[in-house]
Amino acid sequence: MRTTIKTVGSIAVSAGLVLTSACGSSSDTGGSAATQAGIEPTTTTAAVQAVIDPGDGGDYQPVIDPADFVDAIDNPYLPFAIGSRWVYQGDSAEGHERVVVEVTDQRKEVMGVSAVVVRDTVHADGVIVEDTFDWFAQDRDGNVWYLGEDSTAYEDGQPAGTEGSWEAGVDGALPGIAMPADPTVGDAYRQEFFTGEAEDMGEIRRTGETFSTPSGDYDDVLVTGEWTPLEPEVVEEKYYAPGVGNIAAVSVAGEPDRLELVSFTPGTAR
């Protein structure tokens, strides 16, 4: 899990997933996207002590109904208006990084949902190391879902593989929440679920903070924690400002990585 700029009671979301606290019981047990696709319920692959626990016991079964989704993504903490562009810089184990995130005008249908395509390119010491197309969609309640990615890794500036790519509804992969509609401290949730490949989890850690980056000073900042059992030694925190989105990603366990927003160009509503 590289430091990335990609995103206690229950929160019910319109697409059928229930986000629970770490001490919560299992989530919605109704019909699931996995069941509809003929996929057996799966469990996490790593037998490690959880840093973040979504409270589902590994029986994760979100229900995805395309009718529950809207075209625009305007969650205040993760707004993806077409043409929006974020540039981040910082140091990581791979060197000095520059990350550019852009909301394209493209759409991709995933599990019957029309998703917004967001491009994320990473350069380390001036050389491209990753080029990813992420797919996001927002439900009617305002929760932003992460539906998969088409990612290409590079070595010495040349394509080296597509490990980490996945698509919800294909080969057992399931979507997750990138940003809840009503983030509340203590909420824990799955951001993605593809056993052994993509098992990132998030939780809301703090709200109402102030934070400064080279791009400016921000108030009412939301702080999330992210962790995956596939890389249990790594934990990072991400900072989100209303109307802007992700403004920083900081490793709090593992390699001392840090990325900060240096410029933001807002896009236009669809």
Tell me whether residue 189 is in a domain.
yes
Of the listed ranges 33-47, 112-126, 160-174, the one predicted with least confidence: 33-47
Q: What percent of the chain has pLDDT over 70?
A: 81
C-alpha distance across the termini of the chain, in Å: 32
What are the pLDDT digits (tens) for 239-263? 999 999 999 999 999 888 999 999 9
- pLDDT, position 94: 76
Q: What is the pLDDT of residue 164?
A: 85
As a whole number, mean pLDDT of residues 209-230 equals 97
3-state SS record for the chain: CCCCCCCCCCEECCCCCEEEECCCCCCCCCCCHHHHCCCCCCCCCCCCCCCCCCCCCCCCCCCCCHHHEECCCCCCCCCCCECCEEEEEEEECCEEEEEEEEEEEEEEEECCEEEEEEEEEEEECCEEEEEEEEEEEEECCCCEEEEEEEEEEEECCEEEECCCCEECCCCCCEEEEEECCCCCCCEEEECEEECCCECCEEEEEEEEEEEEECCEEEEEEEEEEEECCCCCCCEEEEEEECCCEEEEEEEEECCCCEEEEEEEECCECC
pLDDT tens, 164-217? 899 999 999 999 999 999 999 999 999 999 988 899 999 999 999 999 999 999
Average pLDDT, the chain: 85
Residue 103 structural domain: 11-265
Between CA 8 and CA 234 the distance in angstroms is 24
pLDDT in tens, 48-58: 688 999 999 88
Range with the largest mean pLDDT of 22-26, 123-127, 254-258:
123-127
- Give the per-residue pLDDT at 58: 85
Q: Is the pLDDT of residue 21 over 90?
A: no
In this prediction, residue 92 has a pLDDT band, given cuts at 50, 70 and 90, of confident
Residue 71 belongs to a domain: yes
Residue 245, in any domain of the structure: yes
Q: Nearest-CA neighbor of 180 among 18, 1, 4, 41?
A: 18
pLDDT for residue 169: 97
Kindly state the percentage of the chain with pLDDT values over 90. 74
Cβ 143 vs Cβ 179: under 8 Å: yes
CATH of the domain at 259: 2.40.360
- Does some domain include residue 5? no
Number of domains in the chain: 1
Say yes or no to pLDDT of 264 above 70: yes
Does some domain include residue 3?
no
Predicted pLDDT at 133: 98
**How many CB atoms are located within 10 Å of the residue 175 CB?**
30
Q: Residue 46: is its pLDDT beyond 60? A: no
Q: Does the residue 113 lie in any domain?
A: yes
